[in-house]
Chain A
Amino acid sequence: MEEEVITACGSDMMSDVLAYVKDQSLLLTGLVNPQIVRTAEMMDMHCIVLVRGKTPDDTILKLAEQKDITVLSSPYRMFTACGLLYSNGLRGGCDVS
């Protein structure tokens, strides 16, 4: 992965991810199905972080490879994983309006 990631978005509801488009480049989710890769693809996201220690199956990995999207797995829960990335400089992709 050589793309720079500046903003992130954490959600288990893919429709919500799709609703708030604003150049998020990283998706944190506890959902594990191929639609997380499709959603990332439509949103031009480069990386998916699976929280709560979830691991991707072969279908997900194959699709992600095809779409050039990196999939990572983290043992942290959603709140902590987001907090760690936030405290290290990542920001939310959407403005509060």
Chain B
Amino acid sequence: MSMLELKYIVPGDDFTRAGEASGDVKHKLKKIGYNPDAIRRVSIAMYEGEINMVIHAGGGEAEVNIDPDRVEILLIDHGPGIADVEKAMQAGFSTAPDNVRSLGFGAGMGLPNMKKYSDEMYIETEVGKGSTVRMIVYAQR
């Protein structure tokens, strides 16, 4: 059992709402006085993940488990899966449609940013079934 367990539905059809869950997590972490650097890293990593779920997977679910020493973020989708994870991890590699770039995303920075700001990141994915991304951010780096 974590100190605080949060669950969200990330709607897949509304790009304007992407980031709502991350914003709420940030707000709650601030309220409990979490380390500001960890808060920012959690927010950015989760926000990029949310954007990914909206762009690629038609939304999904997010679970966040907060403990005094670490925050665990689980992003679960039932989208198309990632065919080549290694390639997807390369900065600049993107399969996002062009219209996403006009929204300020889709430059192939999503997964690299998530890896950069989390301390641990694990991707489980199956083409045609979906992906689960698990990220851990420690309160003290």
Binding site for B on A (CB under 8 A): 12-16, 18-19, 21, 29, 31, 33-36, 38-39, 41-44, 59, 67
Contact = CB atoms under 8 A, between A and B. Distances in A.
A42 B16 contact: no
Interface residues of B, number: 26
Nearest to B41: A21
B77 interface: no
A35 B40 contact: no
A15 B55 CA distance: 13
B23 A67 contact: yes
Given A15-B48, A19-B109, A44 B40 contact: yes
B113 A38 contact: no
Interface stretch (B58-66, B99-107, B121-129): B99-107
A42 B104 contact: no
A36 B16 contact: no
B23 A38 contact: yes
Interface of B: 15-16, 18-19, 22-23, 26, 36, 40, 43-44, 47-48, 51, 101, 103-107, 109-110, 112-113, 116-117
Contact of A33 (B44, B104, B113): B104
Contacts of A13: 101, 104-105, 107, 109
A14 B116 CA distance: 16
Contacts of A38: 18-19, 22-23, 47
A12 B103 CA distance: 9
A36 B104 CA distance: 8
B21 to A, nearest CB: 11
A18 B23 CA distance: 14
Contact of B44 (A12, A29, A42, A67): A42
A15 B104 contact: yes
Contacts of B22: 38, 42
A74 to B, nearest CB: 18
Contacts of B47: 18, 38-39, 42
Contacts of B36: 44
Contact of A18 (B15, B16, B48): B48
